[in-house]
Amino acid sequence: MELEVETVIKIAAYTGSGIAMGLGAVGAAIGEGYTAARANLAVSRNPKISGDIFKNMLVGQAVAESASIFALVIAILLLFMDFASPSLLKAAAFLGAGLCMGFGAIGSGVGSGYPGGESCFGISQQPQAGSQLTTNMLIGSAVCQTPAIFSMVVALMLIFIDFGNAPLTPTWAAFVGAGLSMGLAAIGSGYGGGLAAGASCEGIARTPQAVTSVTTIMLVGQAVSQTPSIFGLLVSFILMFKTFPESSMLATPMALLGAGLCMGFGGIGPGIGNGMAAEGAVRWVARNVEHSNELMRIMLVGQAVSQSTAIYAMVVSLVLIFVV
Amino acid sequence: MAIEGAEIVKAAAFIGAGLAMGLGAIGPGVGEGMVAAKACEAIGRNPKEAGLLTRTMLVGQAVSESTGIYSLVVALLLLFVV
């Protein structure tokens, strides 16, 4: 059975669209469920301010929702894309875009649920710190969304950039690898950023006067948690924009696919680990604000060590791209 | 296009190297993060012992790092030796 190029592109686009929306729905749903669960607990503790808690819950859930809205946008684009010059390369790019956005939305969706839930619970304990908690929740969950935004950027580039007449083999593997690298690496960073943001909302509710120190250490911790997803972005840019000479060997495309898988999976653990370190530091700055400098120092040292495996993964994937 | 056996072996070695390092990086990353989180908690409770706690944290993380280094070694072996 011979398939026409247009048919192959349609198959890839529809598959990519399904993957993008299916996986993209996982994270936000879990995150929003967590927010709602904490909000219920908060209302049962302090029913008199149920209106404030309800409002805060909806705002938090709306931010957590954005990751899956990005996935919806990419899925709809893939369903209704018109393409000027059909080529098999475009099929690979569509599949890569779907994988990238689908995986990329998971971490941010789950992560953004934590600040939402903890701030609802915090409002029930400290109603007078409500506006500080809402502000801090918005900052924290906005930072959590960055890995999902990176994924959307890579997916949009894969969909819209005209890669001209690059050779089909091995460029197809570079596009799928680019999607996997960014999408998978975004999982850990999104989730880790959420852990830090959740702890900061809990901390502000406990000691509202420590708000400046808590927000500062949350932002530093989240920034370090984002690095694995930035490594993923870097590798996927290299895979998209490096020109690969044509090759009939099977090993060349597999090396590029392997590079994407390596950086993608390799970014998950360090992203979560850095987030855990930041969570611990933020929680204890709120309890022991005089020693925030020591806590910041040990958080950064711990995160640097936890980052090392992401750096190994990046080295191996760069070797797979440039050396072998 | 006929694909030779040696060719398939090489392709499998590249994919295997990527998976070895990629999946192998998950555990140490999470584990070392847990160590760092608990070290922060410990310093928060008892800031006077910050030096001792930092040392303990680093030794614990170094041990937890070892599986990540095994993955790196296996990935490099798959890339350059096999």
Peptide bond into A170 cis (omega under 30): yes
Q: Which residue in A5, A14, A11 sits closest to A74, CA to CA?
A: A14
- Tell me whether 0.95 is exceeded by the ipTM: no
Does the distance separating the beta carbons of A312 and B71 come in below 8 Å?
yes
List of residues 6+ apart from A135 with CB closer than 8 A: none
% of residues, chain B, pLDDT over 90: 89
- Is pLDDT above 60 for B81? yes
Interface probe for A, chosen from B3, B7, B14, B56 (most Cβ of A below 10 Å), is B14
- Return the residue of A nearest to B57 by Cα: A302
Residues of chain B found within 8 Å of residue A283, distances taken between Cβ atoms: 40-41, 44
Interhelix angle A50-80/A88-125, nearest 10 degrees? 180
Residue A232 CA to residue A227 CA, distance in Å, equals 9
Mean pLDDT over A158-168 rounds to 87
Question: Which CATH code, of 3.30.1330.40, 3.30.70.1290, 1.20.20.10, 1.10.645.10, is assigned to B8-81?
Answer: 1.20.20.10
Q: Which residue has the higher pLDDT, A73 or B1?
A: A73
Closest CB from B12, B41, B68 relative to A312? B68
* Half-sphere exposure in the Cβ direction for A161 (13 Å, CA): 16
Model confidence over A68-100: pLDDT tens digits?
Answer: 999 999 999 999 987 767 888 999 999 999 999
- Is pLDDT above 80 for B1? no
- Is pLDDT above 60 for A169? yes
Measured in angstroms, the CA of B52 and the nearest CA of chain A are apart by 12
3-class secondary-structure state, position A248: coil
User: Is A284 an 8 Å CB contact of chain B?
Assistant: yes
Q: Which residue in A17, A181, A188, A8 sits closest to A100, CA to CA?
A: A181
Mean pLDDT over A20-31 rounds to 96
Interhelix angle B50-76/B5-24, nearest 10 degrees? 170
Looking at residue B2, what is its pLDDT? 63
User: What domains are defined for chain A?
Assistant: 5-322 (1.20.120.610)
Q: How many residues would you count in chain B?
A: 82
Does the distance separating the beta carbons of B17 and A258 come in below 8 Å?
yes
- Is pLDDT above 90 for A164? no
Model confidence over A227-265: pLDDT tens digits?
Answer: 999 999 999 999 999 999 998 889 999 999 999 999 999
Does the distance separating the beta carbons of A258 and B19 come in below 8 Å?
yes
User: Rounded mean pLDDT of chain A?
Assistant: 94
Residues of chain A found within 8 Å of residue B82, distances taken between Cβ atoms: none
Least confident of A79-93, A101-115, A187-201: A79-93
Looking at residue A124, what is its pLDDT? 95
The pLDDT confidence band at residue A29, using thresholds 50, 70 and 90, is very high
Does the distance separating the beta carbons of A262 and B22 come in below 8 Å?
yes
Residue A41 CA to residue A33 CA, distance in Å, equals 12
> Backbone phi, then psi, for B63, in 5-degree steps?
-65, -40
